[in-house]
Amino acid sequence: MRKILFSLLVICFAQGAFAQKQLVWQLLGMTTYQTDPGDSGELNYSPQFPAVLETQFEGEEVVISGYLIPIDLEAGKYALSKNPFTSCFFCGNAGPETVMELHFSENPGRFATDEYLMIKGTLQLNRNGSGLFFVLRNAEIHG
């Protein structure tokens, strides 16, 4: 009986220890921001992240689905968007809270623009006003 109980505890702990948190665009959309004109004429964005994002998701391994947007294929730069390319932040049809920067742990190869994927990685919140608000480090295709 003790062996069975011990085995169940090990299984439950292992599942909890390796489970990723599901991140949804609605939560990221709770991020507000202010814009300030920079010295070079570009707008600087100052994000204000919701407390739940900072306390429960930052630095955690998360899973999120979205549309893959290749930024620079040779440099391996990609973004994940809530919306397809024609409606995304880069086309001026959405806000900066609808896109995140991806840093793949290994070269993911080539993808078609707007391929809808589930991505796993560690969430970093970018507070410095340059770059995208959300960064997914050690990203990889999930599922």
Query: Domain for residue 1, yes or no?
Result: no
Please identify every stretch of the chain with a pLDDT value under 50, giving residue numbers as ranges.
Answer: 1, 3-17
Query: Domain for residue 14, yes or no?
Result: no
Domain that holds residue 101: 20-141
Q: Is the pTM of this model over 0.85?
A: no
Query: Domain for residue 8, yes or no?
Result: no
Q: What pLDDT does 71 receive?
A: 83
Query: Domain for residue 25, yes or no?
Result: yes
Query: Domain for residue 82, yes or no?
Result: yes
Query: Domain for residue 10, yes or no?
Result: no
Work out how many domains the chain is built from and give that number: 1
Question: Could you write out the DSSP letters of every residue in 35-96?
Answer: EEE-TTSPEEEEEE--HHHHHHTTTSEEEEEEEEEEEETTTTEEEEESS-GGGSGGGTSS-G
Q: Can you tell me the distance from the alpha carbon of 143 to that of 128, in angstroms, rounded to the nearest whole number?
A: 32
CATH number, domain containing residue 93 = 2.40.50.870
Query: Domain for residue 15, yes or no?
Result: no
Model confidence pLDDT, tens digit, residues 68-91: 988 887 788 889 999 887 666 656
Structure tokens at 59: 């630095």
